[in-house]
């Protein structure tokens, strides 16, 4: 719910309400909030409450740096003869990305599968799990970008460009297209922050103030 923005950045969290909505007791909810706080996705303020962490551009940049380094390195490891089964999976994935009725979460899942597939082509598919575990803040920023854009078609087109370069054996073009694609999130952050600054962390020392309603200062 945090990663998909169902619980928005900065939202106040109630253990009782979460437990009721999930149909569980407060204990697993409390333990989950502790784990999420360790991942930097939830902030707990004594005597004030728990809140979904606002998106931290610095943590987004760190996760993007890791992801870019790994994915560009994987392109260098592509064999001369690509696995035809994986290539066809990627081709099918790209076709589904073009569906006019595709929801944003469906597109996000296809996006993840596409990048994982490219790493499988290089023989390093298992590394994707390490990348995925480190990019919670990045994934929230990416989802904000998807909501900001009228259509995910621009990202689908970038995927096609990367795929065509990979299967065509044009490594320099593939690297350039991949780098441009992965760095698009920074433009999204700046554009969204211009009209919705409350979604982003500005000062690590900032804490919410509980009045009649909870507000951030």
CATH number at residue 17: 1.10.10.10
47 and 80 together in one domain: no
152 and 104 together in one domain: yes
pLDDT for 205 equals: 58
Going by C-alpha positions, the residue among 206, 36, 47, 62 that lies closest to residue 134 is 62
Across-strand partners of 45?
Answer: 49
Q: How far does CA 21 lie from the centroid of its chain?
A: 25
pLDDT digits (tens, 9 = 90+) for 150-166: 689 999 999 999 999 99
46 and 111 together in one domain: no
- What are the φ/ψ torsions at residue 182 (nearest 5 degrees)? -70, -30
pLDDT digits (tens, 9 = 90+) for 85-96: 999 999 999 999
Which residues have CB under 8 Å from 38's CB, separation 6+? Answer: none
pLDDT digits (tens, 9 = 90+) for 77-129: 999 999 999 999 999 999 999 998 899 999 999 999 999 999 999 999 999 99
Q: How many domains does the chain have?
A: 2
C-alpha count within 13 angstroms, C-beta hemisphere, residue 59? 20
CATH number at residue 97: 1.20.120.530
CA distance 9 to 112: 22
62 and 46 together in one domain: no
Query: How is residue 53 annotated by DSSP?
Result: P
pLDDT digits (tens, 9 = 90+) for 22-74: 999 999 999 999 999 999 999 988 888 899 999 999 999 999 999 999 999 99
Please indicate, yes or no, if residue 136 is contained in any of the structural domains: yes
CA distance 110 to 118: 12
Please indicate, yes or no, if residue 5 is contained in any of the structural domains: no
63 and 135 together in one domain: yes
CA distance 88 to 179: 23
Q: Where in the sequence is the domain holding 31, given as residue range(s)?
A: 12-54+201-216
Query: How is residue 200 annotated by DSSP?
Result: B
CA distance 51 to 133: 21
32 and 112 together in one domain: no
């Amino acid at each position: 719910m945090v990663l998909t923005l169902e619980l928005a950045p900065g939202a106040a969290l109630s253990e009782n309400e979460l437990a009721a909505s999930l149909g569980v007791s407060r204990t697993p909810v409390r333990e989950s909030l502790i784990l999420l706080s360790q991942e930097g996705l939830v902030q707990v303020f004594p005597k004030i409450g728990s809140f979904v962490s606002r998106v931290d551009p610095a943590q987004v940049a760190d996760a993007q740096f890791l992801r870019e380094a790994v994915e560009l390195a994987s392109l260098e490891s592509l064999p001369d003869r690509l696995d035809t089964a994986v290539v066809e999976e990627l081709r099918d994935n790209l076709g589904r990305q073009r569906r006019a009725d595709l929801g944003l979460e469906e597109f996000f899942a296809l996006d993840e599968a596409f990048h994982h597939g490219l790493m499988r082509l290089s023989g390093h598919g298992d590394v994707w799990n390490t990348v995925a575990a480190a990019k919670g803040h990045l994934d929230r920023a990416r989802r904000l970008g998807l909501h900001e854009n009228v259509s995910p078609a621009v990202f689908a087109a970038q995927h096609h460009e990367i795929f065509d370069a990979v299967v065509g054996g044009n490594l320099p073009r593939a690297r350039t297209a991949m780098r441009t694609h992965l760095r698009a999130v920074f433009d999204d952050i700046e554009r969204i922050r211009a009209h919705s600054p409350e979604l982003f962390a500005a000062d690590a020392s900032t804490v919410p103030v509980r009045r009649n309603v909870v507000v951030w200062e």
